[in-house]
Amino acid sequence: MVAETDETGAIRLTPDLRRCLPGRGAWLHPTGDCLEQALRRRAFGRALRVSAAPDPAAVTAYVEGLGTTTST
């Protein structure tokens, strides 16, 4: 995934499945547990070196679409 700034200036996470988007990238296991842990630890901001917390909506939708969430 990469961090992208949209037209309003908000930072959002974008899945980069082909690994070709510009910018610093970060890896995430495509499971709900890993996503929840990364969000809880605020790991995306550190890994992608962004100053504000990025919006994880696109990555969350991608992981949920895979159906690999194992949370109870």
pTM of this structure: 0.77
Q: Is residue 48 part of a domain?
A: yes
> Which residue type occupies 17?
L
Q: Is residue 35 part of a domain?
A: yes
Question: For residue 25, how many other CB atoms are within 10 A of its CB?
Answer: 14
Domain residues for the domain of 44 are: 2-66
Q: Is residue 71 part of a domain?
A: no
Distance between CA atoms of residues 38 and 44, nearest Å: 7
Tokens 């809880």 sit on residue: 40
Q: Is residue 40 part of a domain?
A: yes
32-41 and 57-66 are packed helices; what angle lies between their axes, rounded to 10 degrees? 160
SS3 28: coil
Q: Is residue 72 part of a domain?
A: no
Which residue in 1, 35, 5 sits closest to 20, CA to CA?
A: 1
Q: How many independent structural domains does the chain possess?
A: 1
pLDDT at 34: 95
Interval 15-29: pLDDT, tens? 999 999 999 999 999
